[in-house]
């Protein structure tokens, strides 16, 4: 190992939102670091200026912090190996590119885009792999210097040796072998003077003393280029771990075409960060048992790269929803109350946003029935307003010709109650059932429909207790007038 303290990094490009796959990569790096008393570094790989999105860096940092992944070094947590923006390290990359050229491990390429395009078309016609043909490697030093002096546009390419085997020892995939003939003479420095990912990432990982490179499977095919660079520069290789792809339910690669892929999307929809982190952790890893519910400390304690799977992981939103509901149940009611109040302030029921006593009761009875806090407003609006309509299927099944009569009897008894408690509503209803020798369903379901408009939900006595006697009487009268058995 390069040093005794594991050092890992998450190195996103500021090209837009943080992909859930990026979150998974960041999370595994973070968990590995914390499990092994190591350090987790955030590095911004902003050298692709064509894809740079204004504000994306700030958004990335904010989103990473929201998830609870606290990095030890990064753009706003300077350590000993900064700067942590690649765009601020251009002189460093040039130094090593010049060294590679001097050693014959890289070379200047002056080929025009037109020649490169023609070459690709010819290779495609012959059904050959599209790769550079080392044309400019044959230029003499004098020719190269003349072109540089004349200001000709150029790039710097990696000089990949022919007829060699390149081996990658991967923690997840084992030993992977590549034939050098399949590896392109990768561009290291682009025409604008900025490095490509390949050079910058290797240089930075070495200088920042990264011990383990944990990243997505899509980078495995690029790894032989990186191994060559480490070897050419005389540097010790880090350990590699390439994580499995994230897949849609149809086993295609996870993409925005089939659903949300941005962490911000899930945040805005009301998912808890704890649930999203828990879910993402299980996309390609398990602890070797059936456990699925984790808090962050539990993930850190259980995580191991040895338990990361090779095969792709299916992104199952139903499982994410289940985990969100489980994490919601574990949350303190005061936290849920705060979120509910914020949601109500921006809703048509804003007058309830300061009624903490009522809202606390609602949270208590709804906590085991919802996936999101917003579900209280969206699926249980009867706590905040009189039903505007009644569920027709429930009416057809449960509202009988005698329902209006029995509901009227119960209504009159409820009117006589003074400051009723939840128990008073229950006792009175049961007395009514006994007096008329009828079953619970004859009265309970019509009462629920009358006060909520729907056939399901928390216990009806809880609803009555929360909305209060006056509102209960009002709703029962309205239902008796409006609902008729067919």
Give residue 54's pLDDT.
Answer: 84
Alpha-carbon distance of 1 to 429, in angstroms, equals 73
Whether 308 and 346 share a structural domain? no
Convert the pLDDT of each residue in 404-463 to its tens digit.
999 999 999 999 999 999 999 999 999 999 999 999 989 999 999 999 999 999 999 999
Whether 439 and 477 share a structural domain? yes
Residue 12 placed within a domain: yes
Distances from the Cα of 319 to the Cα of 232, 261, 275, 277, 287, angstroms: 46, 15, 10, 13, 17
Domain CATH code at residue 272: 3.40.50.620
Label residue 259 by pLDDT band (50, 70, 90).
low
Mean pLDDT, the chain, as a whole number? Answer: 94
Name the residue with higher pLDDT: 407 or 251. Answer: 407
Residue 195 placed within a domain: no
At how many degrees (to 10) do helices 273-281 and 56-67 cross?
90
Convert the pLDDT of each residue in 272-292 to its tens digit.
999 999 999 999 999 989 999
Give residue 50's pLDDT.
Answer: 78
Q: Among 51-60, 229-238, 363-372, 466-475, which stretch is predicted with the lowest mean pLDDT?
A: 51-60
Whether 264 and 324 share a structural domain? yes
Residue 287 placed within a domain: yes
Residue 214 placed within a domain: no
Pick the last residue of a domain from 356, 380, 404: 380
Residue 212 placed within a domain: no
Residue 256 designated active-site: yes
Domain limits for position 430 = 386-486
Residue 236 contacts residue 213 (beta carbons within 8 Å): no
Return the structure tokens found at 413: 């008894």
Report the number of distinct structural domains present in the chain: 4
Whether 326 and 355 share a structural domain? no
Whether 305 and 363 share a structural domain? no
Give residue 484's pLDDT.
Answer: 82
Cα dihedral 71, 75, 76, 80 in deg (nearest 10): 80
Residue 313 placed within a domain: yes
Q: What percentage of residues in the chain have a pLDDT greater than 90? A: 89
Whether 313 and 399 share a structural domain? no
Pick the last residue of a domain from 343, 362, 380: 380
Q: Which residues contact 336 (CB under 8 A, 6 or more apart)?
A: 328, 363, 367, 373
Please work out, in degrees rounded to the nearest 5, the angle formed at the alpha carbon of residue 273 by the alpha carbons of 272 and 274.
Answer: 90
User: At residue 269, what are phi and psi to the nearest 5 degrees?
Assistant: -80, -5
Give residue 485's pLDDT.
Answer: 65
Q: What percentage of residues in the chain have a pLDDT greater than 70? A: 98
Residue 254 has pLDDT above 70, yes or no: yes
Label residue 2 by pLDDT band (50, 70, 90).
very low
Whether 358 and 322 share a structural domain? no
Return the structure tokens found at 396: 């057809």
Residue 60 contacts residue 26 (beta carbons within 8 Å): no
Whether 316 and 360 share a structural domain? no
Catalytic residue among 118, 253, 256, 310: 256
Whether 395 and 463 share a structural domain? yes
Residue 336 contacts residue 363 (beta carbons within 8 Å): yes
Residue 383 has pLDDT above 70, yes or no: yes
Give residue 397's pLDDT.
Answer: 87
Domain CATH code at residue 398: 1.10.10.350
Whether 376 and 403 share a structural domain? no
Domain CATH code at residue 154: 3.90.800.10
Whether 343 and 326 share a structural domain? no
Residue 235 placed within a domain: no
Residue 373 placed within a domain: yes
Pick the last residue of a domain from 307, 330, 353: 330
Return the structure tokens found at 38: 């190591």
Reported pTM: 0.92
Give residue 1's pLDDT.
Answer: 42
């Amino acid at each position: 190992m390069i040093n005794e303290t594991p050092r890992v990094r998450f190195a996103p490009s500021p090209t837009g939102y943080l992909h859930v796959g990026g979150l998974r990569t960041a999370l595994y790096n973070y968990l590995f670091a914390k499990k092994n008393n190591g350090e987790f570094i955030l590095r911004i790989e902003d050298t692709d200026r064509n894809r740079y999105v204004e504000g994306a860096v700030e958004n990335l940092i904010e989103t990473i912090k929201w998830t609870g992944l606290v990095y030890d070094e990064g753009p706003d947590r300077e350590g000993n190996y900064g700067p942590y923006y690649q765009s601020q390290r251009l002189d460093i990359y040039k130094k090593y590119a010049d060294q590679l050229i001097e050693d014959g491990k890289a070379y200047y390429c002056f080929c025009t885009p037109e020649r490169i395009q023609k070459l690709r078309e010819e290779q495609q016609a012959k059904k050959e792999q599209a790769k550079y043909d080392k044309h400019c490697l044959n230029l003499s030093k004098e020719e190269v210097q003349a072109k540089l002096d004349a200001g000709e546009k150029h790039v710097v390419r990696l000089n990949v040796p022919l007829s060699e085997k390149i081996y990658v020892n991967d923690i997840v995939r084992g030993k992977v072998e590549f034939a050098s003939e399949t590896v392109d003479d990768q561009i290291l420095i682009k025409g604008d003077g900025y490095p490509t990912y390949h050079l910058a990432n290797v240089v930075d990982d070495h200088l920042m003393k990264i011990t383990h490179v944990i990243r997505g499977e899509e980078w495995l095919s690029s790894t032989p280029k990186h191994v060559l660079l480490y070897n050419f520069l005389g540097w010790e290789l880090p350990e590699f771990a390439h994580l499995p792809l994230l897949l849609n339910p149809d086993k295609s690669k996870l993409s925005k075409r089939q659903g949300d892929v941005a962490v911000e999307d899930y945040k805005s929809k009301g998912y808890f960060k704890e649930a999203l982190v828990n879910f993402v952790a299980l996309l390609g890893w398990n602890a070797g048992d059936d456990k699925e519910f984790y808090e962050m400390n539990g993930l850190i304690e259980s995580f191991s790269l040895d338990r990361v799977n090779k095969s792709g992981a299916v992104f199952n939103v139903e499982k994410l929803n289940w985990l969100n509901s489980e994490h919601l149940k574990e949350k303190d009611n005061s936290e849920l109350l705060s979120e509910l109040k914020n949601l109500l302030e921006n809703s048509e029921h804003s007058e309830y946003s300061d009624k903490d006593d009522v809202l606390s009761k609602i949270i208590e009875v709804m906590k085991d029935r919802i996936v999101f806090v917003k579900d209280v407003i969206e699926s249980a609006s009867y706590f905040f307003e009189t039903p505007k309509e009644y569920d027709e299927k429930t009416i057809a099944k449960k509202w009988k010709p005698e329902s209006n009569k029995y509901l009227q009897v119960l209504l009159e008894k409820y009117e006589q109650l003074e400051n009723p408690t939840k128990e008073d509503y229950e006792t009175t209803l049961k007395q009514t059932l006994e007096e008329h020798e009828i079953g619970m369903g004859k009265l309970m379901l019509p009462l629920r429909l009358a006060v909520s408009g729907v056939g399901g939900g928390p216990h009806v006595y809880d609803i009555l207790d929360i909305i209060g006697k006056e509102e209960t009487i009002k709703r029962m009268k309205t239902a008796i007038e409006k609902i008729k058995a067919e």
